Structure 1
């Protein structure tokens, strides 16, 4: 039996994510192009890939019940074929016979004829009952309330608890269900017009917070991006605000020196470069990964400003330049829990045991950045994660160590002042000025932004 190209592309992408730690958002567009998929076929491949990855935890619980065995005991290739089939059966309008038959063929190709009979039996059992029936069954299988929430919303339990604590820090723990639901919804495409270099199209709808952001009414934005020479780009509104918080926190003096310390993949760097060009500032960027440094260079190619992109450990890079910069962006490596809409596999790649090593790195980067600031200079400490250990915890520890030599500037006030609407940034329980964006409230990634000034 011949498998439809859209399903083959989705399956191959999912396999690469699990076998090679590939990133679906980077691999899938290339795979779609190579397969020659367009229109509805490309849309189907995208939905099957992201939908399966987003709901993987829920589908694994369904498969385990239907197969009467742990998913750990199923061949990985067969398991991915089953996940893809279950997604089509429970969450799409794809005809059941097509979902079952082509998923069985994918299982056969992955592990041989014997696997096809097993896959066929499991998928036909799943197809006999409604999605509601399966949700009831997996909810009943949970050993705790948090596990039940995790199974139904396809989030690891540690993520459920981290999100609840982060919301509780704003007095909004009751929004947990809305947040987890938003994590499983495909994000709308948001564009940015680099300031001073491009204008928001007249027929576009401006985003409610970033003055650079807009959304198109429909169609493929690729021609607009290409035609602008990189001055119009796809960029999450939260990412735009993170860069603008640093550039708009205080008036810019000509000749200021700026540093983007952890610049890859370069979206925020491009905004900084455009702002530096307009104000007569100098910008340098650093990214430890050569591949990501290449992405930074491409991201800023449309800005006529000379930007040196170094490839060093950010801690070393900052320590080599004491009291040198007026503004530094530390977009620190993190768990990525704030971008689960766009990178759904991130929730399965990290565990609670990864957090201490990440927070140690974040602490060292922020500390080094403060050392590289001139007196009066400002650091924007940004994570694409709302996890309190990575956000308020890191900032509080660094502030204790620096004492009176560092003061906090309210990022909430800065973002509210530059926004085109009311972002409703709730105060934090620790009394800090940290700004926390949310997908369910702001339709952005869950970006955390703190601003620290060296006295």
Structure 2
């Protein structure tokens, strides 16, 4: 009787010497076993995971990465809406979900592979904030982890999400958030998914009594608002209800805005009502003398410039749109294509502009800022911005306002606007500019938007819009007149 062939250490019966465990005959090292099918994953969830990775790895903006992912996975209708909610909801509530996941994992989340953590966050959102059956939320997240990482990650994801599913969101917040009375900022940071430093800055801006209302509003998905560019479109031809405060706005009643003829033709666009009101306010500022030449000093990507140019054209004026970054200047040019009232689009640094002093009658400075007033639409901004960003941004904002005041003629006006309620970017910038210039006065901006209630800003005469009060981004406006 022949002696059985010896097996090497760990060698299975029938396995050739040198053949790795799990490797079929004829399969080289590193090759997929013959006939092994690619793991199937749900397309909507796969698209959402791709967007989360783009935001994390490439610093992409979710609202720009999402349409690409939807096209790549051929998603439309309800599937596209599902993927959109997965992305935006997961990004908004990441702070809360990470606290919950941290309580369900036996290690620091920093030691969990980033791809796996993305899948866990998507699963947590489905379990805690969407009406997805637990078995579906868990099994599809496990599939994502298995396809992207491997079997070990799949088992880990399954175990963690099963623990997450043991409680609802309210119960989890009670378990993982600091005591509200002892640490109000810490509790609000977890309960409303904002970094603690952002909570502290917003508390200073809005006050403790309205803080939680503001944080809650930041986590509500905004409705799509359209703008009819005057002279090119009317609100009557846009589907939806007129906005509360802007004469040019309509709240879309559902569907894809790209399917609206006026939007597809560039006669209308998608624009938050707060941004529309910035253009309305600048155009409404009283002016003595000539009113022919307007400037948008930080025009990218072109939304406010498009509305300003249309308003300027109706009054016989024209707009120069200036943007420092060439690729954003190209976006401005595209947005203004076909518009009346456009004097030119220039790629130029607003701090060192190529224009003669006193060349303009009206100037808009929609300055780069933290963007903490637009967290409904750009939820990832709360995790991307850091406290150290403030100083650099404030210095830039002061320089841009100073430059704009040099460019406007005596008697002309500069409207300083930021999509942020942070006091250093609003009151602080205006106070600094006024302290450094004797030829500038702060005008009362309230008469420019008399239809907007309860909008007094941190300095007398300034305006501050709020998501929880006005349903807009938190836009700040200050009107400065050069003497």
- TM-score normalised by L of structure 1: 0.93
- Where does 1:1-16 land on structure 2 (aligned, <5 Å)? 1-16=39-54
The answer to whether the aligner puts 1:301 opposite 2:329 as a matched pair is: no
Q: Is the 8 A contact 1:315 1:365 kept in 2?
A: yes
The answer to whether the aligner puts 1:369 opposite 2:404 as a matched pair is: yes
Q: Return the index of the structure with the highest Cα Rg.
A: 2
Aligned to 2:480: 452
Aligned to 1:426: 456
Aligned to 2:193: 154
The answer to whether the aligner puts 1:378 opposite 2:413 as a matched pair is: yes
Distance 2:343 2:264 in 1: 20
Q: Is the 8 A contact 1:138 1:152 kept in 2?
A: no
Distance 1:357 1:79 in 2: 32
**Structure ranking higher in helix proportion:** 1
Q: Deviations over 1:71-92 (max 9, x none)?
A: 1111111111110111111111
Q: Is the 8 A contact 2:457 2:476 kept in 1?
A: no
Consecutive unaligned residues of structure 1, counting only runs of 5 or more, are: none
**Inter-CA distance 141–407: structure 2 relative to 1 (3 Å threshold):** closer
Counterpart among 298, 303, 322 of residue 262 in structure 1: 298
The answer to whether the aligner puts 1:83 opposite 2:129 as a matched pair is: no
Aligned to 2:18: none
Structure 1 residue 110: Cα displacement: 3.0
Q: Is the 8 A contact 1:198 1:232 kept in 2?
A: yes
Distance 1:141 1:77 in 2: 32
Q: Deviations over 1:179-199 (max 9, x none)?
A: 100100100111111122211
Structure 1 residue 220: Cα displacement: 2.9
Distance 1:102 1:77 in 2: 15
Aligned to 1:412: 446
Consecutive unaligned residues of structure 2, counting only runs of 5 or more, are: 1-38
Aligned to 1:360: 395
Structure 1 residue 132: Cα displacement: 2.4
The answer to whether the aligner puts 1:285 opposite 2:321 as a matched pair is: yes
SS in 2 for 1:333: coil
The answer to whether the aligner puts 1:394 opposite 2:429 as a matched pair is: yes
The answer to whether the aligner puts 1:166 opposite 2:196 as a matched pair is: no
**More displaced stretch, 217-226 vs 49-58:** 217-226
Counterpart among 25, 50, 62 of residue 63 in structure 2: 25
The answer to whether the aligner puts 1:229 opposite 2:265 as a matched pair is: yes
SS in 2 for 1:340: coil
**Inter-CA distance 6–141: structure 2 relative to 1 (3 Å threshold):** farther
**More displaced stretch, 287-296 vs 247-256:** 247-256
Q: Is the 8 A contact 2:178 2:186 kept in 1?
A: no
SS in 2 for 1:317: coil
**Inter-CA distance 228–250: structure 2 relative to 1 (3 Å threshold):** farther
Structure 1 residue 443: Cα displacement: 0.4
- Consecutive aligned runs of 4 or more in structure 1 exceeding 6 Å deviation: none
Distance 1:438 1:160 in 2: 15
Matched residues, number: 443
**More displaced stretch, 66-75 vs 239-248:** 66-75
Structure 1 residue 278: Cα displacement: 1.0
Aligned to 1:194: 229
- TM-score normalised by L of structure 2: 0.88
Q: Is the 8 A contact 1:289 1:311 kept in 2?
A: yes
Structure 1 residue 252: Cα displacement: 8.2
Aligned to 2:166: 128
Q: Deviations over 1:27-67 (max 9, x none)?
A: 10122123211111000000000000000000010111100
**More displaced stretch, 276-285 vs 55-64:** 276-285
Structure 1 residue 325: Cα displacement: 0.9
Distance 1:225 1:31 in 2: 24
Structure 1 residue 111: Cα displacement: 2.7
Distance 1:208 1:315 in 2: 35
Distance 1:28 1:267 in 2: 20
**Inter-CA distance 238–4: structure 2 relative to 1 (3 Å threshold):** same
Q: Is the 8 A contact 1:290 1:311 kept in 2?
A: yes
Q: Deviations over 1:104-150 (max 9, x none)?
A: 22222333222222111111111122222211111248883211110
Bigger RCO (CA 8 Å, 6+ sep):
1
**More displaced stretch, 148-157 vs 118-127:** 118-127
SS in 2 for 1:338: coil
Structure 1 residue 200: Cα displacement: 0.9
Q: Is the 8 A contact 2:369 2:420 kept in 1?
A: yes
Q: Is the 8 A contact 1:359 1:389 kept in 2?
A: yes
Aligned to 1:239: 275
Aligned to 1:438: 466
Distance 1:23 1:307 in 2: 30
Distance 1:58 1:245 in 2: 38
The answer to whether the aligner puts 1:102 opposite 2:173 as a matched pair is: no
Distance 1:347 1:60 in 2: 14
Aligned to 2:111: 73
**More displaced stretch, 348-357 vs 281-290:** 281-290
Distance 1:390 1:84 in 2: 34
Distance 1:79 1:204 in 2: 39
Distance 1:8 1:208 in 2: 38
Structure 1 residue 216: Cα displacement: 3.3
